[in-house]
Structure 1
């Protein structure tokens, strides 16, 4: 069976841009599942000690929810809610190529609603931060049995966050260069404002 990736459109061409307000949620099901798996994994992790003395069942549940979240965010909600997509392509020589793609809007029509964008980025950034806090908490409280699960949550959600941030700033731009440019501009602004005051 031969696959031809070049003929497949990454974004649906027939998506209705219409004249909908930027504040409406165009994809309520995608928005729901974007947050559902993330929040459910966190709630199961936090509340499992109160409802069960078992470790295996909550661990499996958290891992399944994190896996569903990773797949949903990477393959569905990123494309629908903010028009971004990333993936890894392996060529015939065995080389890895990371692809970061951003859908371009046509004219003044905005394909992404502000509400969906806020929901997407809020969920994408807050949840890995929470898993990072859980990792430090598990490490410092010597709750070692939960540490691999928490690290898995941090890695899966951190990978999605990294991929979408790279899509947002441009796949060819390294994050180190972006940070250096940002701090350089801030330093220059500060130097110029001090010079203007004197």
Structure 2
């Protein structure tokens, strides 16, 4: 029974985190529109591979770093810097793209690798899981152990995969409504990562 509870908690937390706009789910939409739904699923598979380990790391940090806030601050500073770099790169892609990109198939291995890289650069994931699991520990709904963390990570991987897959399916079914959004996707991604980076920088400054 405890196994199902931890899987369920991981599923719900990951689904809640994945449903909000981010550069990951917007990239899923872009892949589904430009490269096809099949490539988007391989992209999501790459996401899921990394998210499993990120959830494990977040659970471990929640049990170890609660009394060592200086390490958390360091992680936030590194993550903020990476977000700024991502924002600049997305704006560069948007303003340097001249020709309209048409829908085309790409190698599945390339889509999967792209998903691994994008998910690895998602520095928000570990702090998100760290915070969520810390709250669960405080409410006595979660007690850290390697097995509990493993079950939680399975649930979080399933939750993220499910939500991202829905984005891919919806994007494919209502492609005519999302064409304009897809053409502005790099700009939207640049704005989102830029806003989060600025928010993190302000938070770190006022601490």
Q: TM-score, normalised by structure 1?
A: 0.28
Tell me: higher relative CO, structure 1 or 2? Use CA pairs within 8 A at least 6 residues apart: 2
Higher share in strand? 1
Q: TM-score, normalised by structure 2?
A: 0.27
